[in-house]
Structure 1
Amino acid sequence: MKYFLTILVLSLIIACSVQKRESNPEFKDSDLKNDTIRIANDSLEYEIIILEPGFNAWLATQKPRGYYGQDYLEQRNRIFVANYNIRANNPSQYGPDLYPMQINYDYNVDYGYEVNYLLYNYFLYFQEKYGQRLR
């Protein structure tokens, strides 16, 4: 089964959480289980899994679902994905730790509101937490 977003998001998040584990001896596996978000649609063959410790708590402080329209989220995600993929393609310039591989986000696929909302907010979280600017 093809997964458009899983491979990159999962790799990115695992890389970030491995880095986080090494730097924080108080990190527990239960923290990771509590901060796992999975969105899937088998008919479209996509899946997003966000395993970033702290993301759930951060997400609760953001604008609620329904605040942004799906068109807005899709437009912002296109920009974020394009800039992210540029960095993933230039590991010598940006480093492979935060950008391990490209995100396969097809602009012609309707992933739905929930996927776009979570992806958009993950990009905001990623930028804030790691001091990156993908705009």
Structure 2
Amino acid sequence: MNRRYWLSLLLAILAVIGIGCGGPKLAEVEGIVLVDGQPQAGVTVEFQPEQGSPSFGETDATGRYELRFSRHKKGAEIGKHVVRISKDFDADENSPRVAGVKTVIPPQFNDETQLASEVQAGENKLDFSVTSLRTAVRANVPIRSMSE
């Protein structure tokens, strides 16, 4: 009986310790985002896993971002992700405007993204190079609005 008591107590302790270890497995993700070949501050990077919660980051003046899963947790869930890159128009932004497009970055990098990446255990350095709406318009790349 004494043995059964200690075994039950040990299992109860292990269960309590295990409660705080729940949640998805995360890995650190950082990188550089270039817009038209140049780093740009204020670009939002979103990693959305096939199932689960997204992670977000924002670039600094050097184009560097670091993903956060939550306020207190860095990283992104391990696995395949759809990647969205966007930057809202500034009040004094000189970029051309397209009806229904709310970002300096064309829809093919955000709302209609084809970008994907896989987050692996450990540290991940994932860089992206995108064009701006201004460059896409100059190059006559068709830009579809979200309402089309």
With normalisation by structure 2, the TM-score equals 0.21
Q: If each structure's helix is expressed as a fraction of its own residues, which one has the higher value?
A: 1
Q: If each structure's strand is expressed as a fraction of its own residues, which one has the higher value?
A: 2
Q: Tell me: higher relative CO, structure 1 or 2? Use CA pairs within 8 A at least 6 residues apart.
A: 1
With normalisation by structure 1, the TM-score equals 0.23
